[in-house]
Amino acid sequence: MSPTIPPLAGKLEGLRSSAIRDLLKLTSRADIVSLAGGLPDAELMPRERLATAADAALSHNGCLQYTESTGWTPLREVLAHRESAGLGRSVRLAEVFVTHGSQQALSLLAEVLLDPGALVVVEDPAYVGALQVFRAAGARIAAVPLDGEGMRTEAITALIARGERPAVVHTVSNFHNPGGVTMSPRRRMELARLAEQHGFWVIEDDPYGELWFDSPAPAPVASYSSNVIRLSSASKILSPSLRVGWMVAPEPVCRAVELLKQGADLCGSALTQQITADLLADTTWLAGHVDHVRAVYGERAKALVHATRTRFADRVRCGDAAGGMFVWADFTDGTDTDRLLPRALESGVAYVPGSAFAVDGGYRNSMRMCFTTSDAATLELAIDRLADAVG
């Protein structure tokens, strides 16, 4: 008799790998220039400085031990100091919580803030990692479109006017993944005001804010209201392998997240948290390092945008890439980017079709291109290949 395979939890239904993701597995082929990845450039990760910090940490035993669930206290002190400067107020240690990358903060917050069926507002196109977390938590999802000023907050007002009561609004306020846009100060204030008036949480998910090219990002949404939980990460400025993200949130939220983190993994890594504290506290070195990453990414972004505009003229519309890692582009001639992808792969270039980020379908004429891991000449080659594929 064949064994009966026990079922998986019902909430996993609908969480399956997409056909596009399966196609994109091909992008690791050496003959393909991938604009699909979405990874920071490993060449720019500060290996030597990390090694020095690792040596220093390993010279005593503490770093090999379990650490506090809230995060290694000296790291939280460094983070409280950094965040105080960004938020324009004194951030207390009890408001700072270290997570295993900001992705874990999203996942723990979904458990802390959402009952099944609660309404979560996300941006459309969306950061897929957030969408997955909220769907797995059994939330109802409402999509709000982006424009050049970021999330269209008037769509939240309209939703509320229809009688909906969001529990959480998730926003990638700076250099959006995948949309590339940054929320304007006016919209930030409006979102904070709505959150206070209607009693919902905002999760300001900000791993890209430091990667600005021409001018710094505006003041965080969290600087306008304590209803805003702010997430940041060492992944894009230092290295994702540290798995250090952090959250600034009101103390009761941090305490609830602490209880759940104990169940998830007891605590983060004392070793990588000490290394991260060392690098973040070395402010002169850090400023020089981040300036270098910005300069390299900025040059690549401009090369990609320039090549796209030159090669496609008005057949493709794309933003200016003012920071972050992504350019979002729309074909204006009806090109279907899902259907184009196999031909693009044959021509030796990969991107992510817009439909992969769509909350309720759509974006069939759009694509996300990541400029971080190729130099300017390779990005130009990629756009030439894309133009060949489009024909």
Ligand X SMILES: Cc1ncc(COP(=O)(O)O)c(C=O)c1O
Nearer CB in complex with ligand X: 177/335: 177
Q: Is 101 in the site for ligand X (CB under 6 A)?
A: yes
In this structure, which amino acid lies at residue 95? E
Over the window 129 to 148, marking each residue x when it contacts ligand X by CB under 6 A and - when it does not, the resulting string is x-------------------
* Residue at shortest CB range from ligand X: 101
Residues 6+ apart with CB under 8 A from 306: none
Residue 114 to residue 168: CA distance in whole angstroms:
8
Closest contact distance (angstroms) between CB of 73 and ligand X is: 21
- CA gap 114, 254 in Å, rounded: 15
- Is there binding between residue 354 and ligand X (CB under 6 A)? no
Site stretch for ligand X (CB under 6 A), options 77-85, 101-109, 221-229, 303-311: 101-109
* Interface size with ligand X, residues (CB under 6 A): 13
Nearer to ligand X, 109 or 344 (CB): 109
233 is a contact residue toward ligand X (CB under 6 A): yes
Token readout for 139 is 């939330």
Distance CA 175, CA 38 (A): 13
Task: Spell 121-135 as b/e; 16+ CB within 10 A means b.
Answer: bbbbbbbbebbbbbb
- The answer to whether residue 103 forms part of the interface with ligand X (CB under 6 A) is yes
Say if residue 373 is exposed, middle or buried (CB neighbours under 10 Å; 0-12, 13-18, 19+). Answer: buried
Binds ligand X (CB under 6 A): choice among 235, 269, 335, 373: 235
Centre a 10 Å sphere on the Cβ of residue 41 and count the other Cβ atoms it contains: 16
x/- letters, 323..352, toward ligand X (CB under 6 A): ------------------------------
Q: Looking at 180, 209, 245, 354, which residue binds ligand X (CB under 6 A)? A: 245
Query: Does residue 207 touch ligand X according to CB under 6 A?
Result: yes
Pick the piece of the chain touching ligand X (CB under 6 A) from 233-241, 248-256, 271-279, 338-346. 233-241
CA distance 322 to 175: 7
Nearest distance from residue 21's CB to ligand X, in Å?
15
User: Which of 95-103, 252-260, 314-322, 338-346 is the region at the interface with ligand X (rule: CB under 6 A)?
Assistant: 95-103
In the list 72, 97, 127, 328, the residue contacting ligand X (rule: CB under 6 A) is: 127
Beta bridge mates, 368? 328, 352
Q: Least separation, in Å, of the C-beta of 95 and ligand X?
A: 19
Cis peptide before 252 (omega within 30 of 0): no
How many other C-beta atoms lie within 10 A of the C-beta of residue 27?
A: 17
Tokens 């021509």, residue located = 347
Q: Tell me how long the chain is.
A: 391
Task: Quote the CA–CA distance of 26 and 12 in Å, as a whole number.
Answer: 26
Least separation, in Å, of the C-beta of 385 and ligand X?
25
Residue 209 touches ligand X, criterion: CB under 6 A: no
Q: Is 373 in the site for ligand X (CB under 6 A)?
A: no
Q: Give the binding range for ligand X (CB under 6 A) out of 25-33, 66-74, 159-167, 232-240.
A: 232-240
Return the residue of 69, 102, 274, 355 that touches ligand X, per CB under 6 A: 102
List binders of ligand X among 148-177 (CB under 6 A): 172, 177
Asked if 354 and 390 count as a contact pair (C-beta separation under 8 A), the reply is no
* CA separation for the pair 153, 162 (Å, rounded): 15
CB 347 within 8 A of CB 26: no
Identify the helix (H) or strand (E) that includes residue 284. helix 283-312
Binding-residue pattern over the window 64 to 83 for ligand X, x denoting contact by CB under 6 A: --------------------
Residues that bind ligand X (CB under 6 A): 101-103, 127, 129, 172, 177, 205, 207, 233, 235, 240, 245
